[in-house]
């Protein structure tokens, strides 16, 4: 590749997104000379409703942490949680952006120490209640009939006020709990967000509902997967059993989160770097130029 800097822009991301210091820049600068520019050679864009990325006629790379499928009429390449057999697409689940794989690697020396820290039952954090969160709210209410589930979010709060924003504050909040109720907004193969990662980083036993393929990415013996049980009663019965049996609880807590305690393939930065190598070196007629041509015609 040329020694010239690759000019890159970011568009349509969440409000807190830092255009000068973010996951993509930190990874890409390990191989490429990158310059953030308002006149870019390439643009990486999210799925905000404003669609400001349409002002760019250079190649567009779509990224989303939501359950949104790529639209190749709008973008030339895509990074999503979906499993797709398409050379223009790379699977990049949101949890990869949330922290380092090393945060989830377990040291046998920590086992008993972690178990001793688990002095509380179950935590739950939800910001807003809407149709997509109905399942997690209903399960929270059902599990609370056995023991009160501490809710630290803005909604359904029962601990005296919401916890501070940010992943570190959530980790501190979750750390004393045996379980963390971490349901996704919906169940879609591949759609695994930061929720499971955050529970694991705090060394909780995640109670998870979401991607039916999550067991291929994480060790199923380290968490409770809703899909592994015939109904909700069976899952709650298992939670009660673990809560009342210290040895069984320890068995879950000692299990590595990754298969063989080795990070899954999606944390491998070489995958992402190779994908962007292809993006940066493959001559294409960008969809942005094609759209302009059709609009003029």
CATH number of domain containing 231:
3.40.50.11660
Is 41 inside any structural domain? Answer: yes
| Mean pLDDT for all residues in the chain | 94
pLDDT digits (tens, 9 = 90+) for 226-262: 999 999 999 999 999 999 999 999 999 999 999 999 9
Q: Map residue 72 onto helix, strand or coil.
A: coil
pLDDT digits (tens, 9 = 90+) for 159-212: 999 999 999 999 999 999 999 999 999 999 999 999 999 999 999 999 999 999
pLDDT at 292: 53
If you search the block for the tokens 């673990």, which residue do you land on?
Answer: 242
pLDDT at 297: 42
The verdict on 87 and 225 lying in the same domain is no
Q: How far apart are the C-alpha atoms of 178 and 10, rounded to whole Å?
A: 39
CA–chain centroid gap for 229, Å, is: 23
Is 170 inside any structural domain? Answer: yes
Is 211 inside any structural domain? Answer: yes
Is 162 inside any structural domain? Answer: yes
The verdict on 279 and 176 lying in the same domain is no
Q: What is the CA radius of gyration of the chain?
A: 21
Is 101 inside any structural domain? Answer: no
The verdict on 114 and 201 lying in the same domain is yes
Helix (H) or strand (E) holding 81: none
The verdict on 69 and 214 lying in the same domain is no
pLDDT at 110: 81
pLDDT at 57: 95
Is 114 inside any structural domain? Answer: yes
Looking at the structure of the chain, the number of domains it has is: 2
The verdict on 256 and 144 lying in the same domain is yes
Q: Which of 282, 295, 292, 294 is nearest to 76 (CA)?
A: 282
The verdict on 207 and 92 lying in the same domain is no
Instruction: Determine contact, residues 63/80, Cβ cutoff 8 Å.
Output: yes
Is 1 inside any structural domain? Answer: no
Report which of residues 116 and 236 the model is more confident about. Answer: 236
The verdict on 209 and 271 lying in the same domain is no
CB-hemisphere CA count at 13 Å for 249?
A: 23
pLDDT at 2: 56
Is 193 inside any structural domain? Answer: yes
The verdict on 112 and 251 lying in the same domain is yes
The verdict on 213 and 288 lying in the same domain is no
CATH number at residue 29: 3.40.50.11650
Which tokens is 290 given? 């094609």
The verdict on 219 and 150 lying in the same domain is yes
Domain with 165, as residue range(s), is 106-261
Q: How far apart are the C-alpha atoms of 211 and 22, rounded to whole Å?
A: 26
Instruction: Determine contact, residues 236/199, Cβ cutoff 8 Å.
Output: no
* pTM (two decimals): 0.92
Q: How far apart are the C-alpha atoms of 58 and 168, rounded to whole Å?
A: 37
Using a pLDDT cut of 90, give the percent of the chain over it: 87
For range 12-24, the mean pLDDT: 94
pLDDT at 1: 57
The verdict on 112 and 252 lying in the same domain is yes
Q: How far apart are the C-alpha atoms of 275 and 24, rounded to whole Å?
A: 12
The verdict on 177 and 111 lying in the same domain is yes
Q: How far apart are the C-alpha atoms of 41 and 57, rounded to whole Å?
A: 9
pLDDT digits (tens, 9 = 90+) for 273-284: 999 999 999 999
* Residue 289, C-beta contacts closer than 8 angstroms, at least 6 positions apart: 57
């Amino acid at each position: 590749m040329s020694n010239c800097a690759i000019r890159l822009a970011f568009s349509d991301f969440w409000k807190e997104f830092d255009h000068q210091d973010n996951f993509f820049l930190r990874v890409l600068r390990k191989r490429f000379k990158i310059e953030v520019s308002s006149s870019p050679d390439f643009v990486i864009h999210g799925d905000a409703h404003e669609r400001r990325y349409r002002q760019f006629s250079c190649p567009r790379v779509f990224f989303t942490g939501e359950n949104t499928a790529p639209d190749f009429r709008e973008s030339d390449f895509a990074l999503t949680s979906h499993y797709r057999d398409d050379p223009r697409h790379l699977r990049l689940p949101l949890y990869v952006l949330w922290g380092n794989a090393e945060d989830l690697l377990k040291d046998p020396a920590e086992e008993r120490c972690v178990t001793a820290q688990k002095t509380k039952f179950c935590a739950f954090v939800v910001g807003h209640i809407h149709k997509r969160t109905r399942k997690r709210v209903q399960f929270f209410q059902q599990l609370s009939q056995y023991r009160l589930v501490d809710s630290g979010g803005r909604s359904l709060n029962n601990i005296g006020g919401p916890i501070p924003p940010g992943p570190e504050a959530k980790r501190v909040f979750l750390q004393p709990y045996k379980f963390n109720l971490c349901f996704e907004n919906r169940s879609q193969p591949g759609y695994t967000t930061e929720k499971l990662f955050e529970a694991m980083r705090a060394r909780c036993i995640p109670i998870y509902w979401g991607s039916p393929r999550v067991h291929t990415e994480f060790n199923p013996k380290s968490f409770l997967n809703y899909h592994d049980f015939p109904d909700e009663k069976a899952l709650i019965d298992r939670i009660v059993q673990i809560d009342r049996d210290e040895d069984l609880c320890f068995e879950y807590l000692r299990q590595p989160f990754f298969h063989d305690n080795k990070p899954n393939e999606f944390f491998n930065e070489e995958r992402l770097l190779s994908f962007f190598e292809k993006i940066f070196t493959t001559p294409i007629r960008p969809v942005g130029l094609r759209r302009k041509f059709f609009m003029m015609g």
